[in-house]
Amino acid sequence: MLKQRPFLTETLTAIGLIVAPFVLPHLGFAPNTVNRILVWGLFGLGFDILFGFTGLLSFGQSAFYGTGGFVAAYLLTRAGFSNVLGALVIGMIAAAATGYLIGLIALRRTGIYFAMITVAIAEVFFFVEFNPLSDFTGGENGLPGVPTPSFNLGFTTIHFTNGWSLYQFIALCYFVGVIIALRIVRSPVGAILSAIRDNPLRATAVGHNIHGYKLTAFVIAAAYAGFAGGLLGVLQAFMPPDAFTFDTSGQLVMQTAIGGRATLFGPLVGATVWLFLQDFLQSALGLGAAWKLVLGVVFVLLVCFLRGGIVGGISDLYRLASGRRKRTEDETEGDATDTEAKQESPSAPMLAKEVEHPAYSGPILKATGLTKRYGGLVANSDIDFSVDQGELRGIIGPNGAGKSTFFKMLTCEVAPTSGQIVFEGRDITGLKVTEVCQLGLTKSYQVNQLFTGLTVRENLTIAALAELRGKFRLDLFRTLAGVKGLTEQVEHTLALVNLTRRADTPVSELAYGEKRRLEIGLALATSPRLLLLDEPLAGMSPRERVETVELLKSIARGRTMIIIDHDMDSLFELVERVTVLQEGRVLVSGTPEEIKTNAAVQEAYLGGVHGEIAA
Amino acid sequence: MISWPNLISQLFNGLALGALLALISSGLTIIYGTLGVLNLAHGAMFMIGGYAGFVAYQYTESFILAVIAGSLFVMLLGVAMERLIIRHFYHRPHEDQLLVTFGLGICFVELVRLVFSSQSQIVPPPALFRGITNLGFMFYPTYRLAVVGIVAIALGALFLVLYRTRLGMIVRAGIEDSVMVDSLGINVYRVFMVVFGIGAMAAGFAGIVNAPVVSLTPGIGDDILVQTFVVVVIGGVGSFPGAILGGLIAGEIISVTSMFNPGYAYVMLFAAMTLVLVVRPHGLLGAQGRE
């Protein structure tokens, strides 16, 4: 919706900010209230990138808000620094640097640990500000006398004093903040942040260094917080110590959830509702201190029933009103083209990644003595395994034979207890799954690991980005369209896995067979030279199986593949050699014909080893 | 400034605080371990326990009845909270669980503020434990000594429930793998409700037992919640022994640092937490399972 009209959001924001001083006074907003809302909105832009887009819920943003605020206020009041904008920027940098250090600690863990650690950190900052650093921060008195900005343009001096005059300065800061945030969200980094929120495991597996990206989001949020903190001091002509309190962090979280997460403007809307209700409930209804209880109840209800907050709710309504008609058209049209699309032969095979050292000509993968123990349980024991370049290898074995564990060790998701894995002549034992994927080895999962909140196209974009940009890159201001070769690679993969028609469908609306194809597509979009497929046919209807086998044949050209599956008819038709695993060991290897007639294999599958007959 | 009696009395203070933190943290950690929900309203539960006990004391003048009333009230509140709200969040992302419990915590605090105002309330210690005790080498408030004993008994009871009963076995199995427990034909949702009630009760019990040591204010749970988090991170999420060890460590760090300079208590606590995170990311006694 936003992509079709470039700068639509930016333009609307600018118009809104320009019109506000003419409209809002009639709605009962004092200029000071509007300025406060903007400061919260700016604070929230960074927080929304961290929470809404990356999925990291921090309860410790007050630490950076306070740091930025007090550094700027100290410079302006005690250190004799006179350039307000310069002080704000220095405060922002100080907050970002603090954010980097804190991020190194807090991001060691995820989920609720992360939330708990950020709470603790914010509390520490509050106490440090009050006690050890009270000489610099004024302790509980704060820092009074923060000046307002003025700019000397040579011929005249513009001075932003207070009220609507100061609004101009703050609104400009907010506008720049919005532009930067929009660029970040629409950049490759922004796409990867959403992927981390949806499925960190897969984001890692397709080759992104997610720790680096999370730290990036954390620092961005800290920088926004620092700048907003500085503005608070300018706005009030006084830097209040309560900027550092846990309540500040809590209010930010609540405003963002009320307004709508992952919307960028949610925090602004939330702050508007918050400050308006606070005024309204306190003065108009005379509720006194009970206003916070009312807001708390509103917040809980919103979290329970309207997950997207106010902005999310409005855009859902909009979609419901405008989208229903469109969708029915789409669907009827889609059915008509369905059969045509199927008959189209898959387009040209997709090329695998360039080989780094083409001189190497040994087996593409060689595992020796691979063993994995879980306590007393031996999942894999002393497996020797070798696959030649361009080979199509099948792996079969009864349930519990250790096939999936074996795959996990090959892709370095799980470290082997002992043994060695060599990929294209390079020892990859002990590397991380991200690095191995970057080298050109990845797998599709037995249980779908998709980015369920994103569309099919966005899913493949995430995977393709890892191949085109490497595991970590800070191209925060580049557009997705600016990544060379991305569109081609995504379109190509879409065509290969026959999902072109469904490109803009959210994953949650796909049929099971389509999800399975996307799962393979995610692995394929990283252009692996060695592709492992863990039960690609599992759960498919007979017709889907036939189609998927054709798909696998077409992607096998120019690439090596190892496939685990229980569907032996399909597998034997597809592969050149088969390895049979049983009880964590290699039972036998050979051509499909040899395996079919092998007595030991038949016995293993009929359970003869234990003297039982399978039903 | 630093003398032996002073140090020892601070060590005792640390023990009392540590025991309380251990009890509150065990409640938080078994709820998280079993249900996978981090209850940010846990500090409010602690606070409500104190106020419920305070009300009971006003009517009965009996400290024992106050403790029973405070604990039971918070347990029922926990059960109601689980039934009405939390259970709809089991299948929603962690962030939503955090948001809703955070919001509920604020509602509880503000509700109490509305009813009792922000002024502090006082619950006197029971007659049996009033005054100070001569320990031979120093004098120490009797009730603080009693707190250590009372909390130790409560922790012992919790231990018996967790390690010696069928329910406890299910809870501990659920901490390891709740899906597996579910598929064994045990109604995990009923267990979840009971665990939430017990976990909340641990906080409520601590709240009323702690009330005579401090004065009650609606915000009393906020600091405790933060300290509880540090305890759980140090001890390891989902670990009952970890909560006890972490509680004692945190209590001593806060008390001993306060002897030199109260302003640094949180800094030292945070330093200890960071150290644990760097050396043993899963906590001192934590398992690798839940995240």
Instruction: Encode pLDDT of A314-353 as tens digits.
Output: 988 888 887 655 554 454 444 444 444 444 444 555 666 6
**Token duo for residue A426:** 């390079």
Residue carrying structure tokens 């921090």: A58
Between chains, do B230 and A120 touch, taking CB under 8 Å as contact? yes
Of B32, B94, B107, the CB nearest to A297: B107
Q: If you ran DSSP here, which 8-state letter would residue A107 be given? A: T
Main-chain dihedrals φ then ψ at residue A152, nearest 5 degrees: -90, 110
Partners of A293 on chain B (C-beta within 8 Å) are: 107, 110-111, 113-114
Measure in Å the smallest separation between the Cα of B127 and chain A Cα atoms: 36
Average pLDDT over residues B71-77: 97
From CA A95, how far away is CA A89, in angstroms rounded?
10
Measure in Å the smallest separation between the Cα of A63 and chain B Cα atoms: 14
Between chains, do A111 and B113 touch, taking CB under 8 Å as contact? no
Tell me if A188 sits within 8 A of A469, measured CB to CB: yes
pLDDT at A102: 93
Neighbour tally for A544: CB within 10 Å = 17
pTM: 0.89
Partners of B273 on chain A (C-beta within 8 Å) are: 117, 120
From CA B178, how far away is CA B171, in angstroms rounded?
9
pLDDT at A358: 59
Burial class of residue A340, CB neighbours in 10 A (0-12, 13-18, 19+): exposed
**Token duo for residue A227:** 């700048």
**3-class SS of residue A280:** helix
Tell me if B124 sits within 8 A of B190, measured CB to CB: no
Main-chain dihedrals φ then ψ at residue A575, nearest 5 degrees: -100, 165
DSSP labels for A420-461? EEEETTEE-TT--HHHHHHHTEEEE-SS----TTSBHHHHHH
Tell me if A564 sits within 8 A of A534, measured CB to CB: yes
Neighbour tally for A5: CB within 10 Å = 9
**Token duo for residue A330:** 């789409």
Which residues is A427 bridged to in the sheet? A422
Q: Percent of chain B scored above 70 by pLDDT?
A: 98
Measure in Å the smallest separation between the Cα of A168 and chain B Cα atoms: 34
pLDDT at A117: 87
pLDDT at A265: 94
Average pLDDT over residues B182-203: 87
Tell me if A50 sits within 8 A of A249, measured CB to CB: no
Name every residue whose Cβ is closer than 8 Å to that of residue A513 and which is 6 or more positions away in sequence.
A540, A541, A544
pLDDT at A604: 79
Q: If you ran DSSP here, which 8-state letter would residue A561 be given? A: E
Which residues is A366 bridged to in the sheet? A386, A422
Name every residue whose Cβ is closer than 8 Å to that of residue A77 and which is 6 or more positions away in sequence.
A143, A144, A145, A146, A239
Q: What's the residue count for chain B?
A: 291
Residue carrying structure tokens 């347990």: B75
Beta strands, E only, chain B: 132-134, 139-141
Which residues is A392 bridged to in the sheet? A561
**Token duo for residue B18:** 């540590």
Tell me if A303 sits within 8 A of A257, measured CB to CB: yes
**3-class SS of residue B288:** coil
Average pLDDT over residues B224-247: 91
Partners of A109 on chain B (C-beta within 8 Å) are: 277, 281, 291
Between chains, do B114 and A117 touch, taking CB under 8 Å as contact? no
Tell me the CA distances in angstroms from A285 to A278, A293, A345, B106, B108, one per residue in order. 10, 14, 70, 21, 21
Between chains, do A112 and B38 touch, taking CB under 8 Å as contact? yes
Q: Which residue in chain A has the smallest CA separation from B118?
A: A289
From CA A81, how far away is CA A71, in angstroms rounded?
11
Assess B32–A contact: CB distance below 8 Å, yes or no.
yes
**3-class SS of residue A590:** strand
| Residue B33 clears pLDDT 80, i.e. is over it | yes
From CA A337, how far away is CA B74, in angstroms rounded?
61
Residues of chain A with pLDDT under 50: 1-3, 328-329, 331-346, 609-615
Partners of B230 on chain A (C-beta within 8 Å) are: 116, 120
pLDDT at A341: 42
Of A55, A121, A293, the CB nearest to B107: A293
Partners of B222 on chain A (C-beta within 8 Å) are: 246
Q: Which helix (H) or strand (E) holds A228?
A: helix A210-236
Interface test with B, best of A300, A305, A414, A447 (most B CBs within 10 A): A300
| Residue B285 clears pLDDT 50, i.e. is over it | yes
Assess B115–A contact: CB distance below 8 Å, yes or no.
no
Q: Which helix (H) or strand (E) holds A585?
A: strand A585-590
Which residues is A585 bridged to in the sheet? A582
Q: Judged by CB atoms within 8 Å, which residues 216-275 of B form the interface with A?
A: 222-223, 225-226, 229-230, 232-233, 237, 261-267, 269-270, 273-274
Between chains, do B99 and A290 touch, taking CB under 8 Å as contact? no
b/e code A320-337 from CB counts within 10 Å (16+ = b): eeeeeeeeeeeeeeeeee
pLDDT at A130: 81
A391: left (phi over 0), alpha (psi -120 to 50) or beta: beta
